[in-house]
């Protein structure tokens, strides 16, 4: 089992703590799953937002854990317990994984672990974060970021998006989708998707949603972005602009991501040649599939299948 420590402290954000518990500490029926503790470097009962009292496991070390989750952190204080800062730094130096939800990135930035690394937080804290930590490569308006062993999410529900992505990395596409369905959330919102959209993509948003559904249904037919624009009754230039504003990514990148998501699902249950797989997901050849799979997943299709093939 992967051993997970969920860090609690006085006045912790209740929602983000609950997200961490839901993702990592809720027992599930899988043979391999997380073994999680809510831990604290403070003693005694702690109070979360809303006056909720919680009892965490008091610890002096993180050595027995593989992953540390920081659900939130105060944004208006520069004080950090020295013993806690030292233990978290030791944890990071060992190459172990650290996951921050919402304002949790403030803690890592304060103790120097985000120097020259990518990070994000809730959009309402972004300007404060950039002013306080200019040496962090802050990424505006995304749902989450990954930089080596450290991952950060934006606020509130984006914690679930990051959590589902972590499950996908650890246990594969099928299990991540099952957990997402139980949470009644989207099985995959990419990290680069915009946090907040002020205006609808088009006046008739229903027709645009239908276009995305059409694209997914016809993904194996090597459809193009131009065909998607025609389906939406928009010019290619207008379609590109509105798409980017709404989803925080280009139509081409979105289309590639859908193809790679489908390829991952197939790799988990079927044995196909690289050319057969490319044909199933709408790529012209295996070379293009390999290039995009490595780009979006970070490993070769064969390596992914070895790790996540079911049965």
Set out the domains of the chain in order of their start, with CATH numbers: 2-183 (3.40.50.880), 197-311 (1.10.10.60)
Q: Mean pLDDT over residues 245-256, rounded?
A: 85
Query: How confident is the model at residue 120, as a pLDDT?
Result: 93
| Side-chain half-sphere CA neighbours of 100 within 13 A | 29
> Across the chain, what does the average pLDDT equal?
87
Query: How confident is the model at residue 199, as a pLDDT?
Result: 36
Q: Mean pLDDT over residues 239-258, rounded?
A: 86
pLDDT one-digit tens code per residue, 92-120:
999 999 999 999 999 999 999 999 999 99
Percentage of the chain lying above the pLDDT 70 cut:
90
Q: How confident is the model at residue 198 (pLDDT cuts 50, 70, 90)?
A: very low
- Cα–Cα nearest to 190, from 240, 122, 258: 258
Q: Mean pLDDT over residues 192-202, rounded?
A: 44
8 A C-beta contact, residue 136 and residue 117: yes
Query: How confident is the model at residue 217, as a pLDDT?
Result: 87
pLDDT at 122 over 70: yes
Backbone angles phi, psi at 203, to 5 degrees: -60, -40
Q: How confident is the model at residue 269 (pLDDT cuts 50, 70, 90)?
A: confident
pLDDT at 146 over 90: yes
Cα diameter, the chain:
62
As a whole number of angstroms, the distance between CA 9 and CA 104 comes to: 11
| pTM, entire model | 0.67
Q: How confident is the model at residue 27 (pLDDT cuts 50, 70, 90)?
A: confident
Query: How confident is the model at residue 205, as a pLDDT?
Result: 42
Query: How confident is the model at residue 202, as a pLDDT?
Result: 39
pLDDT at 206 over 80: no
8 A C-beta contact, residue 138 and residue 129: yes
Query: How confident is the model at residue 207, as a pLDDT?
Result: 52
As a whole number of angstroms, the distance between CA 103 and CA 11 comes to: 13
**Axis crossing angle, helix 251-269 with helix 286-297, rounded to the nearest 10:** 100
What is the separation of C-alpha 6 from the centre of its chain, rounded to a whole number of angstroms? Answer: 17
As a whole number of angstroms, the distance between CA 58 and CA 81 comes to: 14
Token pair for 265: 């699902």
Q: Mean pLDDT over residues 53-75, rounded?
A: 94
Query: How confident is the model at residue 197, as a pLDDT?
Result: 41
């Amino acid at each position: 089992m992967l051993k997970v420590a969920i860090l609690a402290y006085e006045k912790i954000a209740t929602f983000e703590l609950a997200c961490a518990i839901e993702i990592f500490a809720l027992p599930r029926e899988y043979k391999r799953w997380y073994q999680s503790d809510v831990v604290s470097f403070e003693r005694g009962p702690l109070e979360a937002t809303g006056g909720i009292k919680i009892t965490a496991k008091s610890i002096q070390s993180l050595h027995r854990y593989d992953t540390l989750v920081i659900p939130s952190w105060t944004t208006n204080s520069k004080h950090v317990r020295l013993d806690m800062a030292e233990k978290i730094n030791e944890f990071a130096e060992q190459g172990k994984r650290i996951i921050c939800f919402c304002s949790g990135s403030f803690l890592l930035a304060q103790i120097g672990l985000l120097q020259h690394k990518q990070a994000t937080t809730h959009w309402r804290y972004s300007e404060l974060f950039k002013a306080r930590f200019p040496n962090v490569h802050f990424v505006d308006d995304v749902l989450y970021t990954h930089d080596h062993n450290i991952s950060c999410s934006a606020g509130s529900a984006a914690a679930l998006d990051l959590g589902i992505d972590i499950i996908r990395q650890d246990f594969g596409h099928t299990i991540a989708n099952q957990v997402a369905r139980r949470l009644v959330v989207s099985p995959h919102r990419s990290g680069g998707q915009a946090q907040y959209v002020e205006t609808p993509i088009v006046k008739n948003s229903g027709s645009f949603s239908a276009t995305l559904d059409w694209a997914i249904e016809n993904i194996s037919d090597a459809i193009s972005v131009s065909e998607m624009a025609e389906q939406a009754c928009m010019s290619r230039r207008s379609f590109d602009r509105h798409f980017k504003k709404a989803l925080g990514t280009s139509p081409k990148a979105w289309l590639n991501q859908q193809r790679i998501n489908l390829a991952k699902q197939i790799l988990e249950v079927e044995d196909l040649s690289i050319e057969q797989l490319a044909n199933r997901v709408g790529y012209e050849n295996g070379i293009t599939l390999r290039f995009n799979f490595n780009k979006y997943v970070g490993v070769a299709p064969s390596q992914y299948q070895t790790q996540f093939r079911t049965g």
